[in-house]
Structures are given as C-alpha cells and as structure tokens.
Amino acid sequence: MPLFVANLTKHNFQLHFWTERTQRPIFVEIPPGQQKSIYPEGSRADHESIVNQHKMYGMLPVSEIDRAKGFVGQCYQFDTPIPLDRLYTTMTNNEDVLYDEAAERRKEAAASSDDLMRRAAQETDSKIASFEVEIEEVDQKGVESQVHEVITVGDEKPQQSERRRGRRRT
C-alpha cells in the first residue's frame, strides 16, 4: 500500500518524517509539480503516521483539494498515483490564489501609506485628497509585460488650502 505525496508549489519540497522503525529522520525531495512514492517499504500505519506529521502544515488528501479555498502546497493519496490533471489544475489555482493575495497585500500597503501620510499632513496642517500607487513592470527584452496596476486610496476631491502666502493680486 504505497503513499504518494505531490508538491504543488514552484519550489523543491523536502518531506521530512520519522517512523517507529527508523532512528533518524528520513527526507524525500520532491521537485515542483511532481509526486513521489514515500517510504514504499512501510506499512499502512507508517504511511498514516507520515501523513499525520504533515497535516498540521497544510498537507491535504487529494479528495479535499477542490474544497480548499486557499493555497495548497502538498497533497497525498494512498494506493494510487495522483492524476496529473489534478496536479496541473491545483497548481494553476495556486497561481490565481497567490496573485489575488498579493493584490490584496498591495492594497493594504497603499492604505497604510495613505494613513501615515494623512497623519503627517494633519500634524503640519496640510491636506491630502487622495493617494495613488502605480505598479508597472519594467519591460524586458523577449518577455511580455503583464503587470500594470493602479491603487487609489481616498475619495475626497483636492481641497484648496485656506492659508495664502504673499500679496493678493488684483
């Protein structure tokens, strides 16, 4: 009864585990987008123990991947290899999840910067109407530019300062 573990990230993954029969930890390196049979000489109890060691870090059974709403780094299946279409679909979904999370972090960073600038402006009796962050990928030879994002924080119209300097012109 083999145990198959798949790496759904874009980095090499080292699966470290202990069994009752070994005195030292065992590790298996799994390249991105691939799966390996883990500890083939082990029993079903050994394989379940290995899975239990990694569930707390987000390893999911293949049957639960579709219900996962976030990023899935590793998955497992007993007895049969994991279908390649499941690996491909989950890796594609991971890219979408990471892109959405990164966009949300950029929005939070822009809102935080806006708040910081508003507080600084308040201390100097200045006003800030809106804060805009523009993210644009630098063009590289042979690579298509895909990133262009503008984040605007604040919905106030620019206001004129009530203080005037200098002489009034007539």
Tens-digit pLDDT profile for residues 34-87: 999 999 999 999 999 999 999 999 999 999 999 988 999 999 999 999 999 999
Largest CA distance in the chain: 95
- pLDDT tens readout for residues 22-37: 889 999 999 999 999 9
Is the pLDDT assigned to residue 157 strictly greater than 50? Answer: no
* Token reading at 146: 């895909």
Amino acid at 62: V
What's the rounded Cα separation, in Å, for the pair 128 and 117? 8
SS3 92: helix
- Which residues lie closer than 8 Å to 125 by C-beta, 6 or more apart? 163
Please give the sequence-ordered ranges of beta strands (E in DSSP) within the chain, or none if there are none.
3-7, 13-17, 26-30, 35-38, 60-61, 74-78, 131-136, 148-153
* Token reading at 124: 């100097």
What's the rounded Cα separation, in Å, for the pair 56 and 64? 15
DSSP 8-class letter at 11: S
Q: What is the pTM of this model?
A: 0.71
- Looking at residue 154, its pLDDT comes to 67
